[in-house]
Amino acid sequence: MTNYLYDGVFAPHADSRKTFLYTADGEISFADFTALTDRIASLLVATGMAPGDRVAVQADKSVMLFALYAATVKAGGVYLPLNTGYTAAELDYFLGDAKPRIVVVSGKAEAAIAPIAERIGAALMTLDADESGSLRDAAMAHEGPFAAVPRGSEDLAAILYTSGTTGRSKGAKLCHRNLRSNAEVLRDYWRFTPDDVLLHMLPIYHTHGLFVASNLLALVGGSMIFLPKYAADVALEWMPKATTMMGVPTFYTRLLDHDGFTREASAHMRLFISGSAPLLAETHRQFEARTGKAILERYGMTETNMSTSNPFDGDRRAGTVGFALPGVDIRIADPQTGAPLPDGEIGIIEQRGDNVFLGYWEMPEKTAESFRDDGFFITGDMAVRDADGYISIVGRDKDLIISGGLNVYPKEVEGMIDAVEGVLESAVIGVPHRDFGEAVVAVIVRSDDALAAETVEAALADQLAKFKQPKAILFTDALPRNSMGKVQKAELRKAHDGLFS
Ligand code: AMP
């Protein structure tokens, strides 16, 4: 038996002298990366990690951190990256839940995490942004080559905790097949080749930066410009060397805000990909007007990897996430019964395929609730498919507003508000209301401070049914977003909970 993920994704180019990673400090070839991976893999095994053991990691992005992921997989372990924003109290829950054999944190977190690691019997190591720390010191005492530990397609490769906007965060179990198959599908769909150089400015604790971007470029033997975080001016400096970029929508709005972002500045780029949060149709249009290139929007989630994408060759339609990827079965279903709905009707996205995770870590009931009897995963994303087959996401099921017993999809109202002159963006939420159960409330960020609530009301008056029109319009300087650019509607709902009481 081989190591299904490592041998499929990392091994084909392992010995190549070609540059795999460009950083601000220099270049790392595939062979350098493999040598680093092998040292770390030897260390993990010497520390007592057995196949199937978890390696939990909260550390700043670096080449060594990326190699720790490859090493964990190669040594047969299960990689468990944690958002760098989590506090020690939050880590207490994740570590207690996942019971890793090894924990890696930054030097400054060591003291707070040490008692937790001791309680669960895990070895603790440190890794800082500059790659210093006990992980490096110990790994350098080991020599390669390291023979990959055999793992099958159904074995666990990673656990990623979902952002958990309601209730406890759940650990999504991803197997070797989930990750490798998705990288192979994306290579073909988006035409990635060894000539590609991806501008990588995403975090690597999330599916987007870790799997979508990194697995794909490793698989094809391309290169990545591997930078710690996003900044539009840094993106512009590197762009002449890159061929592609993957970003969350804010990457693109910030580029558009930058005067230096011109048609010439992006001339070397063959493909811009967006996902993880909805890209405004307006951003898509402005981007195309500025560069002559249409952003390719795709949709996926931690549990399902990538599921839909706009086409590479055909029309990349603003405001849509395109079609189901090859090998992904998608239906837009009645939320109650799971029965497929006709095109044009809003329902819940359900999917089945090699991309879909195995279930939630030690939560058999949650797992059972999340799958239909025929194996389809209930995503919680509401969407509609048009007559041409393009899918548009209209929001999360829990963001659906029920006002006076009638369903209001926030996206529809937001789309109309965003079209009003003087509006930069908006979020529409449901707020408890004595008469209506929930009342529609719009929170707006203005691009023109003179814009009045009455102007927005007047613009919606003859466009939207009365029950969909906001009962209150509030202005704010910025919408609350998480690190992947998703608007935090739960936070907004909490902030305005008492508006009508
Ligand atoms: P995560 O598990 O953090 O990757 O979040 C997945 C969620 O992000 C999905 O369930 C969607 O609600 C949302 N999402 C991802 N891509 C898109 C997109 N292109 N448009 C709208 N929502 C998206």
pLDDT in tens, 187-224: 999 999 999 999 999 999 999 999 999 999 999 999 99
Query: pLDDT band at residue 286, thresholds of 50, 70 and 90?
Result: very high
Cβ of 202 below 6 Å from ligand 1: no
- Which of 274, 299, 370, 397 for a ligand 1 pocket mutation test, highest count of atoms within 8 Å of Cβ? 299
List the one residue out of 202, 209, 191 whose CA is nearest residue 270.
191
Q: What is the pLDDT of residue 417?
A: 96
Distance CA 175, CA 52 (A): 11
Higher pLDDT, 482 or 124: 124
Which two three-digit tokens encode residue 414?
């937001």
Ligand 1 centroid distance, CA of 250 (Å):
14
Is the pLDDT score of 329 beyond 80? yes
Cβ of 414 below 6 Å from ligand 1: no
User: In the Cβ-directed half-sphere of 379, how many Cα atoms lie within 13 Å?
Assistant: 30
Is the pLDDT score of 165 beyond 60? no
Cβ of 393 below 6 Å from ligand 1: yes
Ligand 1 centroid distance, CA of 78 (Å):
24
Please report the domains of the chain, with CATH numbers, ordered by start residue.
Answer: 4-13+31-152 (3.40.50.980), 401-495 (3.30.300.30)
Q: What is the pLDDT of residue 45?
A: 98
Strand order in the sheet with 156-161: 123-126, 102-105, 54-58, 78-81, 156-161, 171-175, 359-360
Cβ of 165 below 6 Å from ligand 1: no
Phi, psi (rounded to 5 degrees) for 222: -90, -165
Ligand 1 centroid distance, CA of 276 (Å):
4
Q: What is the pLDDT of residue 334?
A: 95
Is the pLDDT score of 167 beyond 70? no
Query: Which residues, other chains included, contact 190 with Cβ-Cβ below 8 Å and sequence gap of 6+?
Result: 271, 273, 296, 309, 312
**By alpha-carbon position, which residue is closest to atom 4 of ligand 1?**
301
Ligand 1 centroid distance, CA of 372 (Å):
21
Distance CA 460, CA 77 (A): 54
**By alpha-carbon position, which residue is closest to atom 6 of ligand 1?**
301
Ligand 1 centroid distance, CA of 302 (Å):
9
- Which of 393, 487, 489 for a ligand 1 pocket mutation test, highest count of atoms within 8 Å of Cβ? 393
Cβ of 207 below 6 Å from ligand 1: yes
Residue listed under structure tokens 């099921």: 397
Q: Residues 226-238: what's their mean pLDDT?
A: 97
Burial grade of 434 (CB within 10 A; 0-12, 13-18, 19 or more)? exposed
- Which of 276, 304, 321 for a ligand 1 pocket mutation test, highest count of atoms within 8 Å of Cβ? 276
Mean pLDDT, all residues of the chain: 95
Cβ of 278 below 6 Å from ligand 1: yes
First and final C-alpha spacing in the chain: 63
Burial grade of 104 (CB within 10 A; 0-12, 13-18, 19 or more)? buried
Q: What is the pLDDT of residue 169?
A: 87
Q: Residues 271-291: what's their mean pLDDT?
A: 94
Query: pLDDT band at residue 396, thresholds of 50, 70 and 90?
Result: confident
Query: pLDDT band at residue 164, thresholds of 50, 70 and 90?
Result: low
Peptide bond into 145 cis (omega under 30): yes
Query: pLDDT band at residue 483, thresholds of 50, 70 and 90?
Result: confident
Cβ of 301 below 6 Å from ligand 1: yes
Q: What is the pLDDT of residue 388?
A: 97
Ligand 1 centroid distance, CA of 132 (Å):
34
Cβ of 212 below 6 Å from ligand 1: no
Q: What is the pLDDT of residue 38?
A: 98
Ligand 1 centroid distance, CA of 275 (Å):
7
**By alpha-carbon position, which residue is closest to atom 9 of ligand 1?**
301
Cβ of 428 below 6 Å from ligand 1: no
Q: What is the pLDDT of residue 404?
A: 81
Is the pLDDT score of 501 beyond 90? no
Query: pLDDT band at residue 454, thresholds of 50, 70 and 90?
Result: very high
Ligand 1 centroid distance, CA of 457 (Å):
30
**By alpha-carbon position, which residue is closest to atom 8 of ligand 1?**
276
Which two three-digit tokens encode residue 92?
């207490």
Q: What is the pLDDT of residue 87?
A: 87
Query: pLDDT band at residue 345, thresholds of 50, 70 and 90?
Result: very high
Cβ of 381 below 6 Å from ligand 1: yes
Query: pLDDT band at residue 437, thresholds of 50, 70 and 90?
Result: confident
Ligand 1 centroid distance, CA of 471 (Å):
28
Query: pLDDT band at residue 112, thresholds of 50, 70 and 90?
Result: very high
